[in-house]
Amino acid sequence: MRRFFAFLMLSGAFGLTTIIAGWWAAPALGAVWGLAVPARRSPAKIAAAAAALSWMLLLGWTATRGPIHRLADTVGAVFDLPGVVLYLITVVFAALTAGLAAATTGIVRELVRR
């Protein structure tokens, strides 16, 4: 339960920092999470999942404020992609940058520990 709560907190932090700082929040907060959490607790996976969830929620929030599907379809068509792929790419991008950043900075944590 505590882990789940921590996950939600992390996800909220991703969302909040993205609103304030933009897309850099995903790799930056992922990196911080990788430094803070030991490898045995799979920080990369958790960071990836939390970032993905937070960006999904941000997209959902945007959907309540404007024609997000029209945007996805229009921009998707510009790149010859179905609109739904654009959502997927966005969420995967958040997961990848957060997860990879957490995995990479984990090295630093381990070096410090040794």
Q: Which residues sit at the interface with other proteins, rule CB under 8 A?
A: 18-19, 22-24, 27, 39, 44, 55, 58-59, 62-63, 65-68, 70-71, 73-75, 77-78, 89-90, 93-94, 96-97, 100-101, 103-104, 106-107
Q: What span, in angstroms and rounded, lies between the C-alpha atoms of 44 and 114?
A: 20
Question: 67, 97, 73: which is closest to 86 by C-alpha?
Answer: 73
The residue (of 5 and 41) whose beta carbon lies closer to other proteins is 41
Q: Which stretches within 22-82 are classed as H helix?
A: 25-36, 43-63, 68-78
Shortest Cβ 1–other proteins spacing (Å): 26
The residue (of 6 and 58) whose beta carbon lies closer to other proteins is 58
The residue (of 6 and 68) whose beta carbon lies closer to other proteins is 68
Shortest Cβ 8–other proteins spacing (Å): 18
The residue (of 12 and 90) whose beta carbon lies closer to other proteins is 90
Question: 59, 22, 30, 58: which is closest to 46 by C-alpha?
Answer: 30
Angle at 106 between CA 108 and CA 51, to 5 degrees: 135
